[in-house]
Amino acid sequence: MSEPDTVDSAQPPARRPQPHIIVRDLTIAYGDFVLMRGLNFVVNRGEVFIVMGGSGCGKSTLLRVLLGLKEPATGEIFYGDFNFIRADSEARERQLRRFGVLYQGGALWSSMTLAENVGLPLGEFTDLSSAEIREVASLKLSLVGLKGFEDYYPSQISGGMQKRAGLARAIALDPEVLFLDEPSAGLDPITSRLLDELILEIRDTLGATIVVVTHELASIFAIGDNSVFLDADSHTMIAGGNPRAMLEKTADPRVRRFLTRGDQSEQDRASR
Amino acid sequence: MRAEHASAEPAAVAFERTDDAALIVRLSGQWRMRHGLPSGDLLTRELMRSTGIRRVAFDTSQLGAWDSALVVFVTRIIEICRTRKVNEDRAGLPAGLQRMLELAEAVPDKKEARVSAIRASIAERVGRASLEYFGGVTDFIDFLGAFAIALGRLVTGRARFRRIDLVIEIQDCGARAFGIVTLISFLVGVILAFMGAVQLQQFGASIYVADLVAIGMVRDMGAMMTAIIMAGRTGAAFAAQLGTMKVTQEIDALTTMGLDPMQFLVLPRVLALILMMPLLCVYSDLMGIMGGAAVGAGMLNISLTSYMRETTAAIQLGGAFGGIFKATVYGAIIGIAGCLRGFQCGSSSSAVGEATTSAVVTGIVYVVVACGIFAVLFHILGL
Ligand SMILES: Nc1ncnc2c1ncn2[C@@H]1O[C@H](COP(=O)(O)OP(=O)(O)OP(=O)(O)O)[C@@H](O)[C@H]1O
Ligand SMILES: [Mg+2]
């Protein structure tokens, strides 16, 4: 942001972190099977927050709970001052409209073209004309590298492209909070690097808070401001904080193994 | 995996007891999955027979080519050793196999993740099934209530859905259903006329076939046949569409975008069916009467004019409206059953199949129940 009078540059460079998502004593269960317990973390406004952990430990499920698609067994979730768990469905719906979500499988509406997918929320929640909607949809698609695919149906593009189109839909309404479930899974290294840059760009220009579920170590270190590490065996979070700092400081062998891809020599070097 | 010196012998196991409380398992021959696996019971029997064994070792000097068959067999042996608290010595196994075993053991078995398949007693299963059944009825009523709210929003102009979806659904469950409704209704008319004709001819009252067909079609059969066709055609399609959308998280994507799936997906579908069913019903009545007329003209030598005159005399306005009203209610039932089953769908492709089946069954069962209720109700009201 180059203009000197914007709100952002008017603030001191080291802004005081402002809590945006607050999770307290969250327990998540499928029936009697407790998947996660004792989750406590805070996501600050405008940061990229990484949710990591082994496959099947419950990252996608945690996202579903944060989005109200699944009720937690116990615990509370606040978005700013808004008590999400206690709120009625209408208030929740209003809150959800400020979110953008990319699902693990893309979840594009298969009966609509890419432009219609991206344009649907614009048509429902803005006063834009249909030509303008089309323009915005094209812009969002070109941001994820899908210029020219406006009139394709989801079944006519590859899995990685579906992922990117899903991201375009998630950012259609310039959301306050963006939830991304494994955005770079299935993408080649270069595209996934471009995606990382796009995520940082969204954070910086829109000031969006971004929650990313990912296994991709390169992404974790490149974009993560803060993180939480879920462990499947102990059914709770066992670490948190800035991923780069975590790699240097953590004493927990499970976290270390994950952050070094289980590579023994790197673990030794790191612990030296 | 790897062919050492190619011995073409089939897979074989032999056991040999040595002095130092150890049992040697001699593996020889070709271990291929396509040839099947020797049983692990042999080892158990061997261990039972001889006491004091504290170690099991392997000898693979005569082993030929092997693949996963051998890995599975050795895993079995290791399992048996574990449960009997006997040490196993893997040094004798091929290096590749040792590495594979290590890989397989790297992630510990998640006992809690295993779904326990305890067979319930018959009383418990009957109890559960009936609870589920009545739970199904309340689910249906819940869903009906939610749909009514969405309909209310539509009336006040606050419902969010794409108008084009409604048009597409109307086309699909209206215009596209004409062919099959024509065929079935015409045949039902023919069947009704035939059944009546055989009896009525004996009394020389064959002209009353026209009354029979007209009243039968208009009061009940028209609505009922259309309902059954639409349950199999459209109700199933609703369940399959929504079920697939559930599996691919498309419904979640709507919800988190603040778009209520009830308004966005269910409203246009059920509304289309409610709007189209009365029209289809009237059309079906007509086709049935034509079927009856065909039998009358072809078999009973009744002229078309007198058949039609008899028909118009037989049809009462009340009965005709009753039939159309029933068709509307059946449309709502079928549409809601289809959408409900789609929403209840689990997250696999087989669940979509089950949802579809269940939508058709639920739809037809509730339609027949409603038909019975209407019969009693109309009787009391004197219609
Ligand atoms: N509907 C369900 N019923 C019961 N258990 C479930 C259900 N859905 C998921 N699980 C269980 O919850 C656990 C976590 O699933 P989840 O999809 O959240 O994992 P994940 O951390 O996102 O994994 P991945 O990185 O592979 O996507 C899994 O062990 C799974 O067995
Ligand atoms: Mg996941």
pLDDT, tens digit (0-9, with 9 covering 90-100), for B75-103? 888 888 888 888 888 888 888 888 888 87
pLDDT, tens digit (0-9, with 9 covering 90-100), for B38-65? 766 777 777 777 777 788 888 888 888 8
Give the torsion sign (CA, A91, A31, A55, A23).
positive
ipTM of this predicted structure: 0.77
Mutation to test the A interface, candidates B169, B256, B347, most A Cβ within 10 Å? B256
Quick check: CB of A56 below 6 Å from ligand 1? yes
Whether A270 has a pLDDT exceeding 70, the answer reads no
Rounded Cα gap, residues B288 and B189, in angstroms: 4
* Tokens read off for B111: 């006992």
In angstroms, what separates the C-alpha of A93 from chain B's closest C-alpha? 5
Give the torsion sign (CA, A247, A251, A254, A256).
positive
pLDDT, tens digit (0-9, with 9 covering 90-100), for A73-102? 999 999 999 999 998 888 888 888 889 999
Whether B8 has a pLDDT exceeding 90, the answer reads no
Whether B357 has a pLDDT exceeding 60, the answer reads yes
Q: What is the pLDDT of residue B114?
A: 55
Residue A144 domain flag: yes
Pocket test for ligand 1, best of A36, A55, A57 (most atoms within 8 A of CB): A57
Whether A149 has a pLDDT exceeding 70, the answer reads yes
Whether B285 has a pLDDT exceeding 80, the answer reads yes
Structural domain ending residue among the three candidates A145, A174, A203: A174
Residue A7 domain flag: no
Which residue from A33, A97, A107 is facing B258, i.e. has the nearest CB? Answer: A97
Residue A267 domain flag: no
Q: What is the pLDDT of residue B355?
A: 93
Distance A103 CA to ligand 2 centre (A): 9
Distance A35 CA to ligand 1 centre (A): 8
Return the top range by mean pLDDT from A7-16, A126-135, B112-121: A126-135
Whether A62 has a pLDDT exceeding 90, the answer reads yes
Show Cβ contacts of residue A112 under 8 Å, excluding neighbours closer than 6 positions.
A120, A153
Distance A58 CA to ligand 2 centre (A): 7
Q: What average pLDDT does range B320-332 have in this prediction?
A: 94
Q: What is the pLDDT of residue B118?
A: 63
Q: What is the pLDDT of residue B109?
A: 61
Whether A10 has a pLDDT exceeding 50, the answer reads no
Binning pLDDT at 50, 70 and 90, where does residue B113 land? low
Q: What average pLDDT does range A151-159 have in this prediction?
A: 90
Rounded Cα gap, residues A206 and A140, in angstroms: 14
Whether B111 has a pLDDT exceeding 90, the answer reads no
Whether A60 has a pLDDT exceeding 80, the answer reads yes
- Co-location of A215 and A231 in the same domain: yes
Report yes or no: A180 and A199 within 8 Å, Cβ to Cβ. Answer: yes
**Strands A99-102, B12-17: pairing kind:** unpaired
Q: Which atom of ligand 1 is nearest to the CA of A58?
A: 18
Residue A8 domain flag: no
Q: What is the pLDDT of residue A268?
A: 58
Structural domain ending residue among the three candidates A174, A194, A213: A174
Q: What is the pLDDT of residue A32?
A: 86
Q: What is the pLDDT of residue B294?
A: 94
Q: Which atom of ligand 1 is nearest to the CA of A230?
A: 21
Residue A193 domain flag: yes
B152 HSE (CA, 13 A, CB side): 6
Q: What angle, rounded to 10 degrees, do the helices at B349-381 and B222-230 form?
A: 170
- Co-location of A235 and A164 in the same domain: no
- Co-location of A128 and A192 in the same domain: no
- Co-location of A184 and A135 in the same domain: no
Looking at the structure of chain A, the number of domains it has is 2
Binning pLDDT at 50, 70 and 90, where does residue A3 land? very low
Q: What is the CATH number of domain B2-107?
A: 3.30.750.24
- Co-location of A220 and A151 in the same domain: no
Domain coverage including residue A130: 107-174
Place of tokens 């819940």: B142
Where in chain B do CATH 3.30.750.24 domains reside? 2-107
Report yes or no: A116 and B262 within 8 Å, Cβ to Cβ. Answer: no
List all residues of chain B from 352 to 371 with a beta carbon under 8 Å from chain A. Answer: none
Rounded Cα gap, residues A28 and A101, in angstroms: 20
Structural domain ending residue among the three candidates A174, A190, A209: A174
Chain A residues with beta carbon closer than 8 angstroms to that of B347? none
Distance B379 CA to ligand 1 centre (A): 55
List all residues of chain B from 227 to 286 with a beta carbon under 8 Å from chain A. Answer: 244-245, 248-250, 252-260
Q: Which residue has a Cα nearest atom 31 of ligand 1?
A: A56
Q: What average pLDDT does range A149-161 have in this prediction?
A: 89
Residue A6 domain flag: no
Q: What is the pLDDT of residue B4?
A: 45
Output the average pLDDT for chain B: 87
Q: What percent of chain B has pLDDT over 90?
A: 48
Whether B9 has a pLDDT exceeding 50, the answer reads yes
pLDDT, tens digit (0-9, with 9 covering 90-100), for A200-229? 888 888 888 999 999 888 889 999 999 999
- Co-location of A162 and A205 in the same domain: no
pLDDT, tens digit (0-9, with 9 covering 90-100), for B174-207? 899 999 999 999 999 999 999 999 888 888 888 8
Which residue from A93, A105, A124 is facing B249, i.e. has the nearest CB? Answer: A105
- Co-location of A182 and A239 in the same domain: yes
Residue A69 domain flag: yes
Rounded Cα gap, residues A185 and A192, in angstroms: 8
Q: What is the pLDDT of residue B107?
A: 66
Phi and psi at residue A43, to the nearest 5°: -105, 125
Rounded Cα gap, residues B285 and B220, in angstroms: 9
- Co-location of A185 and A145 in the same domain: no
Residue A163 domain flag: yes
3-state class (DSSP) for residue B215: helix
Q: What average pLDDT does range B128-140 have in this prediction?
A: 83
- Co-location of A156 and A204 in the same domain: no
Q: Nearest chain A Cα to B116, which residue? A: A33
What's B247-309 look like in SS3? Answer: HCCHHHHHHHCCCCHHHHHHHHHHHHHHHHHHHHHHHHHHHHHHHHHHHHHHHCCCCHHHHHH
- Co-location of A217 and A240 in the same domain: yes
Rounded Cα gap, residues B227 and B211, in angstroms: 23
In the sheet with A74-79, reading across from the earlier edge strand, the strands are A33-44, A19-30, A74-79, A82-83
Quick check: CB of A58 below 6 Å from ligand 1? yes
Long-range interactions of B128-136: CB distance < 8 A, separation 24+: B136/B362
Q: What is the pLDDT of residue B80?
A: 81
Output the average pLDDT for chain A: 85
Predicted TM-score (pTM) of the model is 0.75
**Strands B55-59, B87-89: pairing kind:** parallel
Of chain A, the end-to-end C-alpha distance in Å amounts to: 42
Chain A residues with beta carbon closer than 8 angstroms to that of B160? 124
Q: What is the pLDDT of residue A256?
A: 85
Q: What percent of chain B has pLDDT over 70?
A: 93
